[in-house]
Amino acid sequence: MKLNELKKEVLKAAKDSYKLGLVAGTSGNVSIYDKNNEVMIITPSSIPYDTMTIEDLVVLKLDGTILDGYNKPSSEWKMHAKIFKDRKDIKCVLHTHSPYATGFAVCQETIPVILIEMVPFIGGDVPVAKFGMPGSESIGTEALKVLKDRKACLLSNHGTLAIGETVDKAFTSSIYLEDAAKIYHIAKNAGNVKVLSDKEINMMKNS
């Protein structure tokens, strides 16, 4: 796929995240790794989503060398680069501050498997990565430790992270993460939450 097409995908995911309330203000960031050219395309730092254009996106190497774009890359570019360096199967990294999921990130509380959609779209429960300093590679390092076979995780006292082999997959995981967090919050307030058993989860994984 050509660079311009990849840029369109990044921009669409960024704007859709904003429209759906997964990010507020200029928080959150999206990136795609282009394996053929060994470059990452990422949303810029501090540009409002509603006015963001393709020209605002930044193309850089995983070592931070900027190849294209006149803006600063997202302040979290090191987290994205770390994930692309370690996970060759991942093409898209999507970071949000979606409110319900971030609420559990602030509590540093795992979201158990309470809904069937969590199995295909997240890969199981939603683990919590240890706190990493903003802008540091350590956020990515800590996220990788808990992600393993999961498609999304919580970042302690910060937000969410979804990864995927495609932009659509990462975006869908983000949506289902927020949905699960919202429903878990409601269920916890309503009564005793019943979590799906390992047996039920494995049956779904193998069906």
Give the binding site for Zn ion (CB under 5 A): 159
Nearer to Zn ion, 140 or 159 (CB): 159
In the complex with Zn ion, which residue's Cβ is closer, 96 or 172? 96
Closest distance of CB 155 from Zn ion, Å: 7
CB 173 within 8 A of CB 113: no
As measured in angstroms, the least distance from the Cβ of 159 to Zn ion is: 5
Q: What share of the chain is helix, strand, coil (3-state, %, to 5)?
A: 45, 20, 40
Residue closer to Zn ion, measured from CB, 30 or 119: 30
Residue in this structure with the two tokens 């997202």, named with its chain if needed: 74
Nearest CB to Zn ion, comparing residues 6 and 105: 105
**Residue written as tokens 């991942």?**
90
Taking the complex as a whole, the smallest distance from the CB of residue 35 to Zn ion amounts, in Å, to 25
Q: What value, to the nearest 5°, has the Cα angle with vertex 157 and ends 154 and 159?
A: 45
Q: Cβ 102 to Zn ion, closest distance in Å?
A: 9
**Cα-based torsion angle of the residue sequence 126, 171, 169, 110 in order, rounded to the nearest 10 degrees:** 0
Contacts of 136 (CB under 8 A, 6+ apart): 78, 79
Residue with the CB atom nearest Zn ion in the bound state: 159
Going across the sheet that includes 29-34, the strands are 66-68, 58-60, 39-42, 29-34, 92-96, 159-164, 152-155, 128-129
Return the number of the residue (44 or 159) whose C-beta is nearest Zn ion. Answer: 159
Residue 42 C-beta: closest distance to Zn ion, Å? 13
